[in-house]
Structure 1
Amino acid sequence: MLKNSMLYTILVLLVSITFLSFRSNASKAEKWRRAAGNGFAVLELFTSEGCSSCPPADALLERIQKEAGNKPVYVLAYHVDYWNRLGWKDVFSDAKYSERQYQYSRFFKGQVYTPQVVINGRSECIGSDEAAVSQGITQGLSSVPTVGLTIEARQEAGNIALNYQVTGNTRNDQLLIAVVQKHAVSKVKRGENEGRTLSHAQIVRKLYVFDLKKGEKAKEQIPVPEDFNAQEWEIVGMVQDPENGVIAAAARSVVL
């Protein structure tokens, strides 16, 4: 009887801990969903299929993307290439994304690691740390931007034509255009995630940098990727200071 009583007590404690953990995570998400202000949050996740610590971060950012709804929360997943030498080549990886992460490490005077999330170019944290990520989103959404960005994308003769407008003081800022695949699934055959089927969200397939054109409206063109599908891809634009990495504005567009 005593043994059964102890087992029952342990079971109750485990259920209580699980419930409290669920409530805690829900309250974190609810806090940023209720954030007031006209701000935004750009979440740049540096990840890799070769990293066994990355799938939880990928899952967290995918859930945040779904929960954001109409909130100006922009998730961008960059697959770095420095894990490729350890047994599995990530098909979405690109040396340019690794360099972008190294650039942030110089701004933050910190280490390069995966999974890492950079929020609005202002702060960074472990990509699977929900509390830190949620806090960053709340701060971003509660801020008061001094720069505005609108963007429209349309397919024209093998290219994607971009019409954009930037308002406010942009100094020497640049316009970054991320071509994003919303979802993909990979079966990993080697490396730390060998045998796993991984789900990816908001994969950056191409990243372009332009000097901002002053004036009411401006245009740029980028090539259409080979496997592009307008229903399953989107464009995310950012206005960023190349001297410190701070992102002053962001906007999203479907491709018409």
Structure 2
Amino acid sequence: MVGKIAFIVIAFSAISLAFTLKQDRPAAQGFAVIELFTSEGCSSCPPADALIARIEKENKEKPVYILAYHVDYWDRLGWKDSFSSAQSSKRQNQYANWLRLSNVYTPQIVVNGSQQFVGSEEKTLRNALQHSLSQTGQNRLAITLEKQTVTNITLSYLTIRQVKDDHLILAIVNPNATNKIERGENKGRTLHHVQIVNHFETFSLNGREKGLVNLALGNIKNDFEVIAFLQNAKSGEITAATKLQLKTHG
């Protein structure tokens, strides 16, 4: 009888431990990382900018993560986009390699690192969004702010499984901005932007499920968002994502 009670206690303890470990790790679910490559110098881009603004507004309570990268290769054609960077152009070229495209273009949208199309194609985007949210995630990612200074932040991350080829991407995102365009294809227009990528950094996790990373804040001046996601370095597929709302350090 004593042996049976001991067995029950041990079994109950094992179940409790398993439940605790499971609770400590975030559960996998469907999500959508929407990456727009755009430019203020491109006359075809404002409709795509407006589209992701609508999508962002409609999906505030859902696991939808929008990043607008302003590329710099339009800057030489009459108007320098103040949000543009060579880093954004480099990321778009990386997608051209991953997705085996012969060239880059704007506006372009990539969803979860695996599907790309013209950024103003609303029906295609909505279908991709619905499909992505209906899937069961392969992994799960959580981030927590550990320390913040004027120049950088320290974040802890947690995933539910080790993936050797996964990189952690952290992007500093400006929620919105407005610019009046004085030259180029959009001369005379006032353009509204959302989810502007200020800059981003890539961290190789080497299969570690959890750890600490430091991220420079750059020239961010307003309250901002950190969007984090796991991306396979070989295929470009994004397997998990999350975000964190932060205020500038006072």
Q: TM-score, normalised by structure 1?
A: 0.81
CA contact (8 A) 1:155 1:255 kept: no
Structure 2 residues without counterparts, runs of 5 or longer: 1-27
SS at match of 2:160: strand
Q: Are residue 82 (structure 1) and residue 73 (structure 2) matched?
A: yes
**Shift in Å, 1:156:** 3.2
| CA displacement at 1:157 relative to structure 2 | 5.7
| Residue pair 1:81, 1:90 contacting (<8 A) in 2 also | yes
1:159 aligns with 2:165: no
2:197 paired residue number = 204
Post-superposition Cα deviations, 1:30-66, rounded to whole Å, max 9, x if no partner, equal: xxxxxxx920000000000000000000000011001
Q: Partners in 2 of 1:129 and 1:140 — Cα distance? A: 17
- Cα distance in structure 2, aligned partners of 1:217 and 1:169: 9
Distance (whole Å) between structure 2 residues aligned to residue 65 and residue 176 of structure 1: 20
Tell me which amino acid in the other structure corresponds to 1:255: L
Residue in structure 1 matched with residue 215 of structure 2 by the alignment: 222
SS of aligned partner of 2:188: coil
Match of residue 14 from structure 1: none
- TM-score normalized with structure 2 length: 0.83
Matching residue within 112, 118, 121 for 1:120: 112
Q: Is the 8 A contact 2:164 2:207 kept in 1?
A: no
- Aligned pairs for 1:77-156 (under 5 A) are 77-110=68-101, 111-153=103-145, 154-156=147-149
Match of 1:177 among 170, 177, 189: 170
Structure number having the greater helix percentage: 1
Distance (Å, rounded) in 2 between the aligned partners of 1:215 and 1:224? 24
Query: Does residue 1:40 correspond to 2:31, yes or no?
Result: yes
Contact 1:147/1:169 (<8 A) preserved: no
What root-mean-square deviation, in Å, do the aligned CA atoms of Structure 1 and Structure 2 show?
Answer: 1.5
Please say which of residues 163-172 and 49-58 is displaced more in the overlay.
163-172
Once the two structures are superposed, the pairs formed by residues 241-256 of structure 1 within 5 Å of their partners are: 241-255=232-246
Question: Is 1:52 aligned with 2:50?
Answer: no
Structure 1: how far apart are the matches of 2:174 and 2:150? 21
SS of corresponding position for 1:147: coil
Cα distance in 1 for partners of 2:159, 2:29 equals 16
Indicate the percent of aligned positions where both proteins have the same amino acid: 46
Structure 2 counterpart of 1:164, which letter?
Y
**C-alpha deviation, 1:103, in angstroms:** 1.2
Q: Distance in 2 between matches of 1:241 and 1:181?
A: 25
Is the alpha carbon distance of 1:213 and 1:169 closer, same or farther for their aligned partners in structure 2, counting shifts above 3 Å? closer
Instruction: Say whether the 8 Å CA contact 1:47–1:114 is kept in structure 2.
Output: yes
Call closer, same or farther: CA 1:252–1:191 in 2, change over 3 Å.
same
C-alpha distance in structure 1 between counterparts of 2:161 and 2:93, whole Å: 29
- Unaligned stretches of 5+ in structure 1? 1-36
SS of 2:61's equivalent in the other structure is coil
**Secondary structure of the corresponding residue to residue 228 of structure 1:** coil
Counterparts in 2 of 1:48 and 1:168: CA distance versus 1, 3 Å: same
Shift of 1:223: 2.0
CA contact (8 A) 2:171 2:197 kept: yes
Question: Which position in structure 2 is the counterpart of 1:190?
Answer: 183
Distance in 1 (alpha carbons) for counterparts of 2:212 and 2:62:
26
Q: What is the alpha-carbon distance in structure 2 between the residues aligned to residue 120 and residue 80 of structure 1?
A: 19
Number of residue equivalences: 218
Aligned-partner Cα distance in 2 for 1:168–1:155: 27
**Distance (Å, rounded) in 2 between the aligned partners of 1:198 and 1:215:** 42
Q: Distance in 2 between matches of 1:143 and 1:195?
A: 43
